[in-house]
Structure 1
Amino acid sequence: MIEMPPLQFASSNGIRMGYYEAGPASDAPPLVLCHGWPELAFSWRHQIKALSEAGIRVIAPDQRGFGVTDRPEPIEAYDIEHLTDDLVGLLDHLKIDKAIFVGHDWGGFVVWQMLLRHPTRVAGVVGINTPHTARPPVDPIAILRKRFGDSMYIVQFQDRTGEPDKIFDSRVEQTFDVFMKRPQPRKDSAAADGDAAKPNLAFPQMVAAYDASRDTREPILSPEEKQVFVDAYSTTGFTGGINWYRNMTRNWQRSAELDLTVRVPSLMIMAEDDAVLPPSAADGMEKLVPDLEKYLVRDCGHWTQQEKPDEVSAKLIEWRRRRFG
């Protein structure tokens, strides 16, 4: 039996946003849990239960373009200014002054940016797998193209005709069969061999060519949990979330004047076996985040809060109590 609080809705920044809330309304500052791609507020089901039972107020929205939340048509409606303004609108709806923002994957990028753009609304930040980094000297898409080639999924997602979206949309269950698995056990030889260690990031083609009979990885989701994602994305398609990626150049162009220093208590939770956002990506974060604590989740791939839910929840509870009472 999957436990989730009742679904609620807020009018926020011109859209209708679906969210879940649990824990005592008197608890402050609450935790706002921000998911990544291709995920949903449902990705935080374990943390919603554990944190609320520990007496902590938690709020988990389906963000713009995902799940039951609106999916505006223009690609520019998914830039970082809209995504962070949506969260401000959610706080306003709930009459919350400040919150601790917790983000995984794309949600991690959003919560670090939330602090930079709306510092008076942020009490603390937790990045899960996604570090806070300096602004790159050139367009990040150019960097990814040079490093990984044109087949890298984020580079492919810049195609505004929606070709990558169609691959996922036509194979929804297959997409989650490809993504939501624990990584293969690491071979020591692969670490010594640079090519063997280099991940295949051509995700649309991986999904199109997927053969379940040859996949020996362990699923992260139960059949019932997987069905929640499959039902949601069968309804919405994948374009809303992919449009977040289509704004990476725009976000970079519009961030030149930002002060990148994070001046609130911060926690960086890293996953040992994440091929896309490895722990090494967080090296040197302390320069931009003076009040930073780091925590490594071992034997864990990219879907940290779903792969190691008890460990992630316990760390969030411990850090929140120690830093905020």
Structure 2
Amino acid sequence: MSTPLCFPNPSLIDLNGIQLEVFEAGQQHRGNPIVLCHGWPELAYTWRYQIDPLVEAGFHVIVPNQRGFGRSTAPEYVDAYNISYLTADLIALLDHFGYDKATFVGHDWGANIVWSLAMLHPSRVHRLVNLALPYQIRGDQPWTEALEAFFGSDNYIVHFCRQPGVADAILDDNVNRFLGNLFRKNLPAKPPEPGQMMINLALNKMPEGDPIMADADLQVFAESFIHTGLTPSINWYRNLDRNWEILGHVDPIIHHRTLMIYGEQDAIPKLENIREFVPNIDEISLDCGHWIQQEQPEATTAAILNWLETTS
């Protein structure tokens, strides 16, 4: 897998009381706007293989490092990372560029934000494309409580939320090893890690599977998280229950045209009844793990472009 020769230069944009580091390509107002939202622990750079083909297809491509990532503002207080703020950042980004609505693409945590955006600000969304993380059903229990009941207190997400600062310190001390072990493909078939997966990855010296990217690409991620630390981005998890409260006040049905892309080898399961909540959805699967657009860049790009061409 080769790295594109160039990546757009960033701009720091003042919006919503913070600054976002934003990479863009294509011509403003001469192409359809499309916003690419990264996951955790990723950056705008995760979309490096999709940007040029989308521009060539006539899109104005907007790729932010979201709050807490890269050189974007990283507020100190945890509540600043709840879904109201994260989605408001994207709406403010549309306002900055003068767009009423856009197509939004999300992977992993970025998909969670895009699902929420479609519920909280439906009039600002044209279409959705989400990768890896399907629609998350809002049950009777707050999400952290539900995860703890199902997986136990040792689950890494529960640990992030119940013991703030503990995992952060370990990951911060082992950024290169953590990311090098995490960003892998062709993993042995086995049940998902039930406990402290992220801490184990930070401390494990013998990774399994194959790297999904060249060392130079990995260093883009590592240098960024060495600079910011992991706490701002982990604070996204620490708002899961707050997000559960916020989304309890909106229509849970997403009516927009939607494409869901799964990785067949991903530990995150498909949502079999997703059409009950997203009736206008198309679903496809690619032969890869969780890091879909980096493991299968050409197939991912083709799937997105083919779907965009056939929807309006």
Shorter-normalised TM-score: what interval? over 0.9
| CA-CA distance at 1:115 after TM superposition | 1.0
Aligned residues: CA RMSD: 1.5
1:8 partnered with 2:11: yes
In the other structure, the counterpart of 2:222 is 230
Q: What SS does the corresponding residue of 2:32 show, helix, strand or coil?
A: coil
In the other structure, the counterpart of 1:295 is 284
Find the aligned partners of 1:317 and 1:176 in 2 and give their Cα distance.
29
In the other structure, the counterpart of 1:284 is 273
Letter in structure 2 aligned against 1:51: L
| CA-CA distance at 1:133 after TM superposition | 3.2
> Quick check: 2:51–2:61 contact (8 Å CA) kept in 1?
yes
Match 1:319 to one of 304, 307, 310: 307
> Quick check: 2:171–2:199 contact (8 Å CA) kept in 1?
no
Q: Deviations over 1:106-164 (max 9, x none)?
A: 10010011111111110011111111133111111111112212121100111354111
How many pairs does the alignment contain?
309
| CA-CA distance at 1:53 after TM superposition | 2.4
Fraction of identical pairs, as percent:
38
| CA-CA distance at 1:201 after TM superposition | 4.4
> Quick check: 1:64–1:70 contact (8 Å CA) kept in 2?
yes
In the other structure, the counterpart of 2:236 is 244
Find the aligned partners of 1:19 and 1:198 in 2 and give their Cα distance.
34
- The verdict on how the C-alpha distance between 1:160 and 1:72 changes in structure 2, with shifts beyond 3 A counting, is farther
- The verdict on how the C-alpha distance between 1:133 and 1:216 changes in structure 2, with shifts beyond 3 A counting, is closer
In the other structure, the counterpart of 1:89 is 92
Find the aligned partners of 1:290 and 1:205 in 2 and give their Cα distance.
38
TM-score for the superposition, normalised by structure 1: 0.91
Match 1:268 to one of 260, 263, 269: 260
1:309 partnered with 2:309: no
Find the aligned partners of 1:206 and 1:140 in 2 and give their Cα distance.
23
Find the aligned partners of 1:77 and 1:28 in 2 and give their Cα distance.
32
| CA-CA distance at 1:311 after TM superposition | 0.7
Find the aligned partners of 2:178 and 2:9 in 1 and give their Cα distance.
27
In the other structure, the counterpart of 2:151 is 148
Structure 1 residues 197-216: aligned runs within 5 Å = 197-211=191-205, 214-216=206-208
> Quick check: 2:20–2:73 contact (8 Å CA) kept in 1?
yes
Find the aligned partners of 1:27 and 1:270 in 2 and give their Cα distance.
31
TM-score for the superposition, normalised by structure 2: 0.95
Letter in structure 2 aligned against 1:286: R
Q: What SS does the corresponding residue of 1:58 show, helix, strand or coil?
A: strand
Deviates more, 1:127-136 or 1:264-273: 127-136
> Quick check: 1:32–1:101 contact (8 Å CA) kept in 2?
yes
Letter in structure 2 aligned against 1:57: H
1:127 partnered with 2:134: no
Find the aligned partners of 1:97 and 1:287 in 2 and give their Cα distance.
28
In the other structure, the counterpart of 1:192 is none
Could you list the runs of 5+ residues in structure 1 that have no partner in the other structure?
Answer: 187-195
Find the aligned partners of 2:188 and 2:201 in 1 and give their Cα distance.
21
Could you list the runs of 5+ residues in structure 2 that have no partner in the other structure?
Answer: none
Q: What SS does the corresponding residue of 1:20 show, helix, strand or coil?
A: strand
Find the aligned partners of 1:138 and 1:200 in 2 and give their Cα distance.
20
Find the aligned partners of 1:287 and 1:201 in 2 and give their Cα distance.
31
